[in-house]
Each structure stands twice: as structure tokens, then as C-alpha cells.
Amino acid sequence: MVRDKGHDGWLFGIYLAIILWAPLPLGCNRVWSSSLLAALASGLAATWLVMLAHDRAQITRPLRKSRWIIGLWAIHVVYVFMQATLPLPGAWSTLSGEWQEAARQAGISVISTISADPAETLSSGWLSLALGLMFCLSLALVRTPQRLRIVGYALVAGGAFQSAYGIVSALGTGSIEVASGTYINRNHFAGYLEMTLAVGIGMLAGGRRFSSEAHGWREWLRGGIRFMLSEKASLRIGVLIMPLGLILSRSRMGNSAFMMSLTGVGLIYMLLSHGTFRVRLTILWLSILAVDIALLGSYFGLKQLTERLEATTTAEMDKRVDIGSLLYPYIQDFLPFGSGLGSFRRAFSAYYGEAFRAVYTDAEDDYLQFMGELGVGVLPLVLLVVLSLWVAVLALRRTEHIFTRGMSFAAVMAIVSLLIHSLVDFNLQIPANALMFVFMLSICWLTRYIPDETSDQKKIAAHPEDDEREFGKPRHGIAVGAERGVAATNDA
């Protein structure tokens, strides 16, 4: 049984508030909001460490088990700070000579550090540190299935709010326009909804089973009322609203990535799982296709989205190829150390003409941008994501609790969807979406190592003395000795 000391409950509340607040100020895609996000995460982590030192917080099992992942994140952060402060080694300084000459011709001052823009790299380093701290705080504060369920409901509520706000804003003029929620870019709005929608689907698949033995219309009516007042009804409403916002975003890759992840990850999980969870996933998948997308989506612009997908012109594709043809020389010129995290705008500006100077603030491809900015330093991030996905799959195979399976499915689906979307967009450059992606990585570890309330109850029922020993109660103390004395008297 999991017993909550209750000392860090207020920390958990602040942590949850940070996650829900991050998308509101334009996805924290401004200097003041991203700096505030980093400050809040650092302050919360420092407070947790102080409480840990005074024995009012605890190092949880997921936090211990993920020490290698935390180590990879630490290597990434140290590497970024090195980019911002260390000079470029002499052996590689000649490799960037062509870029430096082009930068001077473009009127860009050349810095002697590894990073082409050390100020931006330093700022990105602090944000990376904050995201790593939020990852650790997720594993430390979301330490029971009850808290994980609370976070799940909060994220579904946040996604439903974003979607409803986007729908109302888009319909405010009387005609169906493009929805972007509290984001500037509709694609980033779609990226956020992809992840919150995955959480909603996972919670529905792993929610408490609602059943009643109805033999007459009165019992059916009572059952229907109980369902409407239950938690599953509110979840289903949230999962009903979010796909409409996703469709109304008109994000081609956002909608495509969501459907590919829902179908692909859903099929994999249905093959690996068994029993009730497989049935629930099948019903949910058919329900989302039939009700959310086919029926309601037809009113909210599914036809327009389909036409936009079909109307992807050759000129648009050629434009992306041209960008790619500029990106590859940029990546090669800055190998092996990269141009510095966050330095893309400045470093890449020397590769195209004056007429396009203000266009490419991001690469519109997270993979190529990270490769150009980090060089070999991108490897820890790749390992971090791959290992987390593997742990989530193990959670599905080894846990007996259906809620844990549902959240494992949600994490994998959200991560895969955003990884697909990142092929043609830069969601991971938006702090709020990056924070949500980091939380999805933490769910992979939580579902694998969080205490399972079902298995804990079975163990306590079989060996109640183990539960006493686990929480510091003496197994061979006075009370136990007294019980043995009474038993011996009775035997006599």
C-alpha cells in the first residue's frame, strides 16, 4: 500500500500549476515567459531539495530507476553551457572558416566561442536545465497512481480549454476560420492538442470500469444518469472537444501525425495487451473515428482540412527541399560541436540571401535544427527518448493495473505523434510543448516503476507483515511478541 506523507502536497500543486500555465502566454515563446518558466522550475526544484534534506520529501522509485536518463540530461546541459563559454578548438577552427567569411560579408559579428550566438545558447542552456528539473520533479512528486490520475485530469481539462478557446475564437467572426488557441502558430497549437488528446484517450482506456446490471428501463435510466455524473463522462466530453480543435487548426501534419500515432501505436498495444484493455482500445479507436472525426468533424471543417491536404502543391514541396539543401551545408560546416543550442537564426542567416534574412528563425524540422545546433551533442537526447519509449513498452507487458497501461499507451502515443510532427515543424522549440513532451517522457518511467495499487493490495493481503516492515513498523517488536504470547496461551 502507498502511504502519502502529505508534506509535499503543496509542491505538487505548484508543479501542476506550472504545467497548466505554460501554454497560456503564447506557449512561453517569449523571453519573459520562458525565463519565468525556468525560474519557477529552478525554484521548485530547490525547495524540494531543501525538503529532502529535512526528511519532508522522498526519493521515489521512478526517480532512482531513471538515474541513467537523468545522467544523460545532465550531460546535455553541461554540453550546452560548454558551447556558450568555451572557445572553438584550433583543430576545427579552420572548418568554419567559410561560414565566418560569409557571416562577415552578411554583417554578422563572429564570436570566438563554439556557439555562434553565445547569449542565446546560454539562455537555451538554462531552459534545458529547467526542463530536466521538471522531469525529475515529475518522478519525485507524481509518486502515486492517485496523483498521476490528478495530473491526467488536469491535462485533459487544459487541452479541452485550449480547444474550446480556439474553436470559439475561430467561430467568433461567424465563419469557420483557423484555430490556434493561446498559441501564435496553429501547428504548435495542434502539437499541444496531440499530446493532451493522447492523455485523454489513455485515461479512458485505463479508467474505472462502469457497469450496471440493468434489467428494465428504470435501471437503464439510473445507469445513464450515473454515467453522466461519473468521471468517464467528463473525460469523454474532453476527448470529444479536443479533436475538433485539432481539425480546426488546419494543421496538415498535426492531424496526420495524430492519426498515424493513434493507429500505429494502438495496433501495437492491442497486439501486446490482452483482455479488457484491448477491447477498450478498439472501442475508443472506432468511437473517435466515427463520432469525433467523421460526424462532428464534418461540421467543423474536416472537408476543408482534407482539401488542404490534397492541395499540397509541388511548389510548397520544392520550397521545403530548397530549405533542406541549405540546411545540410550548415550542419556539415558546424560539425562536430554544432553552432550552439538556440543559435540557429544567427548561424543560418549566412546561408541565404538578404531578401530572406527575417524568414528562417527556425528550421521547420526539429531533427535538422538540433543536429545543426548540437552536433554530436544530440546523441544524449536521442538515447533519452529511445530508452523512455522502451520502458513504457515494458510497463505495458509487466503491469497488472489497467490505469497504468492506459497512461503508458498515452505517453507512447503522444511521443510518437510529436516525433512525426517534428519532421516538418519545430514544436520542440516552443517551451510549453517541450515541457509537455518532457512530461510524457516522465510518464514512461512512472508507469513502469510507480507503486501499483492493485499489486500492492495483493501483497498486503498475502503478507500483511511485509506492509508493516516496509513503513518502519517493527516485525519482531513488543506488539508482535504480545500476539505470539496470546497465541501460545490459546494453544495451551
The per-residue pLDDT for 444 is: 96
Confidence of residue 432 (pLDDT cuts 50, 70, 90): very high
Specify whether the CB–CB gap between 86 and 80 falls below 8 A. Answer: no
> Does residue 234 register a pLDDT over 60?
yes
> Does residue 187 register a pLDDT over 60?
yes
pLDDT single digits (tens) 353-402:
654 445 678 888 999 999 999 999 999 999 999 999 999 988 887 777 88
In degrees, to the nearest 5, what angle opens at C-alpha 353 toward C-alphas 348 and 356? 75
Specify whether the CB–CB gap between 409 and 202 falls below 8 A. Answer: yes
* Alpha carbon 326 to its chain's center: 30
d(CA 302, CA 238): 19
Average pLDDT over residues 454-482: 42
In the chain, the percentage of residues whose pLDDT exceeds 90 is 45
More confident residue, 220 or 257: 257
With a CB cutoff of 8 Å and minimum separation 6, the contacts of 328 are none
**491 domain-assigned:** no
The per-residue pLDDT for 125 is: 96
Average pLDDT over residues 255-278: 81
> Does residue 307 register a pLDDT over 80?
no
Provide the H-helix boundaries in 54-117. 61-65, 67-85, 90-93, 97-105
d(CA 328, CA 350): 13
178: number of Cβ within 10 Å: 15
> Does residue 303 register a pLDDT over 80?
no
The per-residue pLDDT for 90 is: 57
In degrees, to the nearest 5, what angle opens at C-alpha 122 toward C-alphas 336 and 71? 65
Q: Lowest mean pLDDT: which of 26-35, 160-169, 341-350, 440-449?
A: 341-350
The per-residue pLDDT for 177 is: 73
**212 domain-assigned:** yes
Specify whether the CB–CB gap between 340 and 128 falls below 8 A. Answer: no
319: number of Cβ within 10 Å: 12
Average pLDDT over residues 176-204: 91
d(CA 412, CA 261): 9
Max mean pLDDT range (317-321, 359-363, 403-407, 467-471): 403-407
The per-residue pLDDT for 76 is: 97
More confident residue, 89 or 397: 397
d(CA 404, CA 207): 9
What does pTM read for this prediction?
A: 0.83
Specify whether the CB–CB gap between 80 and 377 falls below 8 A. Answer: yes
Query: Which backbone phi and psi does 468 adopt, to 5 degrees?
Result: -65, -40
> Does residue 315 register a pLDDT over 60?
no
Q: How far is CA 475 from CA 202, 433, 467, 469, 480, in A?
A: 40, 48, 10, 6, 7
* Amino acid identity for residue 72 in this structure: L
What is the three-class DSSP state of 87? strand
Query: Which backbone phi and psi does 301 adopt, to 5 degrees?
Result: 105, 25
Specify whether the CB–CB gap between 406 and 100 falls below 8 A. Answer: no
Residue 293 cell numbers, joined? 472525426
**343 domain-assigned:** no
More confident residue, 92 or 22: 22
In whole angstroms, how large is the CA radius of gyration of the chain? 26
Q: How far is CA 336 from CA 76, 339, 375, in A?
A: 15, 9, 5
**244 domain-assigned:** yes
* Amino acid identity for residue 357 in this structure: R
* Alpha carbon 212 to its chain's center: 36
d(CA 158, CA 24): 10
**108 domain-assigned:** yes
> Does residue 252 register a pLDDT over 80?
yes
Q: Lowest mean pLDDT: which of 12-16, 180-184, 307-311, 343-347?
A: 307-311
Domain extent, residue 437, equals 9-314+355-455
With a CB cutoff of 8 Å and minimum separation 6, the contacts of 375 are 334, 335, 336, 337, 338
More confident residue, 454 or 202: 202
Specify whether the CB–CB gap between 201 and 239 falls below 8 A. Answer: yes
> Does residue 25 register a pLDDT over 80?
yes
The per-residue pLDDT for 382 is: 96
Cis ω for the linkage preceding 336 (within 30 of 0): yes
Specify whether the CB–CB gap between 277 and 201 falls below 8 A. Answer: no
5 burial (CB, 10 Å; 0-12 / 13-18 / 19+) is exposed
> Does residue 447 register a pLDDT over 50?
yes
> Does residue 429 register a pLDDT over 90?
yes
> Does residue 491 register a pLDDT over 70?
no
> Does residue 467 register a pLDDT over 80?
no
Q: If you search the block for the grid coordinates 530572406, which residue do you land on?
A: 356
In the chain, the percentage of residues whose pLDDT exceeds 70 is 69
Residue 444 cell numbers, joined? 514512461
Average pLDDT over residues 29-36: 95
Confidence of residue 43 (pLDDT cuts 50, 70, 90): very high
Max mean pLDDT range (285-299, 397-411, 435-449): 435-449
The per-residue pLDDT for 259 is: 87
**471 domain-assigned:** no
d(CA 455, CA 401): 8
56 burial (CB, 10 Å; 0-12 / 13-18 / 19+) is middle
The per-residue pLDDT for 327 is: 85
Residue 466 cell numbers, joined? 511485509
**What's the CA dihedral at 70, 72, 75, 79 to 10 degrees?**
-120
The per-residue pLDDT for 333 is: 83
Confidence of residue 78 (pLDDT cuts 50, 70, 90): very high
d(CA 324, CA 363): 9
The per-residue pLDDT for 417 is: 96
Instruction: Say how many domains are in the chain.
Output: 1
Average pLDDT over residues 176-196: 91
**334 domain-assigned:** no
d(CA 451, CA 468): 16
**What's the CA dihedral at 74, 76, 80, 81 to 10 degrees?**
20
What is the three-class DSSP state of 113? strand
Average pLDDT over residues 413-433: 95
Confidence of residue 313 (pLDDT cuts 50, 70, 90): very low
**478 domain-assigned:** no
Q: Which own/partner contact pairs does 313-322 have at CB distance under 8 Å and 24+ positions apart?
A: 320/364, 320/424
Residues in the chain: 492
The per-residue pLDDT for 71 is: 96
The per-residue pLDDT for 465 is: 44
The per-residue pLDDT for 176 is: 60
The whole-chain average pLDDT of the chain stands at 79
